[in-house]
Copies of this chain bind each other. A is one copy, B any other.
Amino acid sequence: MVGIKDVARAAGLSVATVSRALNGQSAVSDGARAKVLSAAETLGYRPNVVARSLRTDRTRTIGLVISDVLNPYFTELARSVEEEARALGYSVIIGNADERADLEGHHVRSLMERRIDGLLVSPADGRSPTTLDAVSGPTPVVFVDRWIPGSDAPVVRSEGRGAIRDLVAHLYGLGHRRLAVITGPAATTTGRERVEAFRAALSEFGLSLSDSHVGSGDFQAESGRLATEAFLDLPERPDAVFANDNLMALGALDAIRDRGLRVPDDIALAAFDDIPWFPHTAPPITAIAQPTAELGRVAVRALAGLIAGEPATSTVLPAHLVVRRSCGEPDPSSPTGGATRE
């Protein structure tokens, strides 16, 4: 492998000058620069970033730990993160926690050992000690989507409260009164917040949420199926189910279909997180859409700022309701209140 020394020899200059010419830092004469550039070109020199990182203590790499790569929400997030990071000159290493605290710990630790310049994390478990250690360490950390309460890293997330209220209004308007929810893990902020907001919205409409109408899921499809089956076994089964993420909605759809029931005639269904497939399911699913790509971009910029020594900035972006047909045929004359209709 051709190194900086080979370039120096070919150009008839010292390694110091070659390094300077290549990095354009301090002054190098035009003649020397030209010789270096042409030598590097003909030799096909590629810098060894490992050595460079050792010396500079910067890897120009950020880590992204997400809870589930198979979840389209997170892949879209990952994509926008990588895009923005690349634009800023960073590479991204993605760690997939699979909603498991131990895997999350593994990835956070492994990324730290790789001496990443900064970490973006969406904690699968709000109490992960490894992640907490990372936050209190010297490496900048930004939470995205989910966060760990009490830790002082900035958070970039979206606020679903308003959209959830719109959803409840929508359901109420269609005559649904017995509403149920499938939650995410209580260990995640999003898991807790969405059900809280749902409960609050219900009480605004004079409805209450009985314990039997709260199914606990883990943001994965299978848990959505199980929770829905439990709902369908109830003596008074709910007439609408709100799945707190897209995969659990998929599981719910499975369960409903397996019973030979139809959406929305027999039971209504809505989901948090909109994804490209929802317009195409049978029926198209009403969902709350987050500005996912924007979330990723903002998070990367916040992290880059932190790395550059700027002060931490948290951001909250609004989510909004997208009405489709899975809760019943919407009345075209009714106001949508910030919701999109498709």
The chain A residues found within 8 Å of chain B, CB to CB, are 1, 46-51, 53-54, 59, 69-70, 72, 75-76, 78-79, 82, 86, 91, 93-94, 96, 106, 109-110, 112-115, 138, 221, 250, 253-254, 276-277, 279-284
Contact = CB atoms under 8 A, between A and B. Distances in A.
A253 B284 CA distance: 13
B281 A113 contact: no
Top-8 shortest CB links A-B: A282-B282, A277-B277, A280-B281, A50-B53, A50-B54, A49-B113, A69-B79, A50-B115
A113 B2 CA distance: 12
B221 A276 contact: yes
Contact of A78 (B46, B69, B282): B69
A71 to B, nearest CB: 9
Contacts of A109: 46
Given A50-B53, A114-B49, A280-B250, A94 B94 contact: yes
Given A82-B96, A91-B93, A91-B114, 8 more contacts: A47-B113, A48-B54, A50-B115, A69-B79, A79-B96, A280-B281, A281-B282, A282-B282
Nearest to A79: B69
Contacts of A253: 280
A113 B277 contact: no
A139 to B, nearest CB: 10
Most buried by B among A76, A114, A254: A114
A76 B49 CA distance: 30
A72 B185 CA distance: 24
B96 A93 contact: no
Contacts of A284: 282
Given A280-B281, A282-B282, A113 B46 contact: yes
Given A276-B221, A282-B281, A282-B283, A48 B79 contact: no
Nearest to A76: B70
A271 B176 CA distance: 37
A82 B106 CA distance: 13
A284 B254 CA distance: 12
A50 B53 CA distance: 7
